[in-house]
Amino acid sequence: MKATRLRAAGLAVALLGALVAGTPASAAPDTTATPTTIDCTTDPATPKRQFRAMWIASVVNIDWPTKASQTAPDRIASQQAEYLGWLDLAQQLNHNAVVVQVRPTADAFWPSPYEPWSEYLTGVRGQDPGWDPLAFLVTEAHKRNLEFHAWFNPYRISMPAPGGAGADIAKLAPDHPARQHPEWTFAYPPAGVAGSRLYYNPGLPEVREFVQTAMMDAVQRYDIDGVHFDDYFYPYPSGTHQVPDDATFAAHHRGFTDKADWRRDNINLLVREMGDRIKAAKPWVKFGVSPFGIWRNKSVDPLGSDTTGSQSYDIISADTRKWIKEEWIDYVVPQLYWYIGQYPAADYARLVPWWAEQVRGTRVQLYIGQADYKSGEPAYGSYWMNPRELSDHLTLNRSYPEVLGNVHFSAVQVKANRLGATDIYAAEHYSRPALPPTMTHLPAKPLLHPVVTRTERSADGVRLHWWQPADGQGPLGTATSYAVYRFDGDGPVDACDFADAAHLVGTVRADQVAGAQSWLDETATPGATYTYAVTALDRLWNESAPSPVRVVR
């Protein structure tokens, strides 16, 4: 694999050597500060920065919580244990985030003053589950230093019968806003047609205001790291049935004469306004969308991709390219659920460069949605019977520096590991931890480097202890977590040793209560000599200079 060159600008790594609070482990010798601008050779297989996550879907109990947990005698404990299992998997795969669906059908996984409790917690629409799932979800993700992205569906109200309420408003929870305001809703396809379900009408200003307020309740009350939408805006077409919004268009056209343009503007308003509200409330919370993988085809629009599949711009009124160019979102995760090969409708190898071109020159970050659910499933064709297909996707991504990560759909499919595909891409691409990419347009303050005060060697490994000087005081930022680097031997360490993740052994959430920090390196070989350094990270993963190094013999 050809190595890449990384320019490390402004990396003032003061490896100062001798430390305070001597211990039996010796301090490293003094070194000189490295240059502030250097060229480093890095390994593309171990990137320092890469967003890695899986979707954890709650709708119809796809991933979490399971349907079986709803009737368990210890339901709350069962559901909590299931979720912790998904976090275990995320850690095993060196992921650094989870994307969890907390508002699947105009309901809530938290005690919302606006919407009923989700049926996917108890099996009963609107039933209080007896605990606050969202608080638990966020807290436990943060304990493992995983970002928590709250996944919301803006307009979907119900799933089709018989499992869901279908088009019958009377089957919704008794206090559901849709029952109080049936004029806010429409059924699509029409009631009585297979697959019919209820949606909030995106063309109504009061609906747009309401769904934003309902979602912002979670943003304001919980310490989430991101707000995440998927690809459900206007409903996907069903046969020849038309969305019943003629009267809405007549009453709220805002000067538009073309209904398709008006629908797109309705969704544009939702995305732009939601982004503005998030940043007004919490400027550090990221806003991302995971659209259908084709914006438009080049045969229809010269700005489109070399594809022939369905176009989200036209069929669900999602002008995702505009959201990128206007920088209304912080990241985009196109669902590129196709294989690499001669597939003219949507070849993965054609779509990745198109999306890379769209984000180029913008501050919007590009992650790719991966179809783990197709791997090893014969129904999706022979290409998906290749155990290396997903790993080949991630290898192809390396050719495009704009691709900064991946999100895998979905958790149960990642765990299934059919054909050993998960093992393959994890070994080839996620072998080391990685920090999420920084977002330089979001607020940040400089961090002081930590100071390692002592080390302890035991049968369990090497434990490091450190403290964070002047944490969050004055013009300085607050350390939310820490990255730990380990180098073999006691030789010199320079800035290039921090340029990729080859020496990154872990990250740990800051203990804001104790003040003093510690971490156990369980992978340390007994008797081996190591050199350690620790960096501080704020909640947006901006990194301090490394601590003075510490040698453990």
Q: Which long-range contacts (CB under 8 A, 24 or more apart) does 397-400 make?
A: 397/352, 397/368, 398/44, 400/352, 400/353, 400/356
Handedness of CA 434, 435, 436, 437 (dihedral sign): negative
Which tokens is 243 given?
A: 């969305």
Q: What is the pLDDT of residue 11?
A: 36
**Amino acid at the residue 133:** P
**pLDDT digits over 462-502, tens only?**
999 999 999 999 999 999 999 999 999 998 999 999 999 99
Cis peptide before 399 (omega within 30 of 0): no
For residue 37, what pLDDT is reported? 52
Peptide bond into 189 cis (omega under 30): yes
Exposed, middle or buried by CB within 10 Å (0-12, 13-18, 19+), for 513? exposed
Residue type, 98: V
Q: Is 239 exposed, middle or buried (0-12, 13-18, 19+ CB in 10 A)?
A: exposed
How does DSSP assign 235-252, residue by residue? Answer: PPP-TT---S-HHHHHHS
* Beta-sheet strands, E only, within 242-358: 286-289, 331-332
Token pair recorded at residue 143:
């304990």
What are the helix (H) ranges across 123-258?
A: 133-143, 177-180, 205-221, 246-251
What is the rounded radius of gyration, in angstroms, for the C-alpha atoms of the chain? 25
The pLDDT of residue 452: 97
**CA dihedral sign, ordered 157, 160, 163, 169:** positive
Global confidence as pTM:
0.94
Amino acid 514: pLDDT: 80
Q: Is the peptide bond before 65 cis (omega within 30 degrees of 0)?
A: yes
Choosing among 3.10.129.10, 2.60.40.10, 1.10.150.80, 1.10.10.10, the CATH entry for 451-552 is 2.60.40.10
Which CATH fold topology does 51-158+205-430 show? Answer: TIM Barrel (3.20.20)
Distance CA 249, CA 255 (A): 10
Per-residue pLDDT of the chain (553 residues; tens, 9 = 90+): 334 444 443 333 333 333 333 333 333 333 333 334 579 999 999 999 999 999 999 999 999 999 999 999 999 999 999 999 999 999 999 999 999 999 999 999 999 999 999 999 999 999 999 999 999 999 999 999 999 999 999 999 999 999 999 999 999 999 999 999 999 999 999 999 999 999 999 999 999 999 999 999 999 999 999 999 999 999 999 999 999 999 999 999 999 999 999 999 999 999 999 999 999 999 999 999 999 999 999 999 999 999 999 999 999 999 999 999 999 999 999 999 999 998 889 999 999 999 999 999 999 999 999 999 999 999 999 999 999 999 999 999 999 999 999 999 999 999 999 999 999 999 999 999 999 999 999 999 999 999 999 999 999 999 999 999 999 999 999 999 999 999 999 989 999 999 999 999 999 999 988 879 999 999 999 999 999 999 999 999 999 999 999 999 9
pLDDT at 126: 98
Question: Are 151 and 231 in contact, with CB atoms under 8 Å apart?
Answer: no
Where do the structural domains in the chain lie, given as residue ranges? 51-158+205-430, 451-552
Task: List the beta bridge partners of residue 552.
Answer: 530
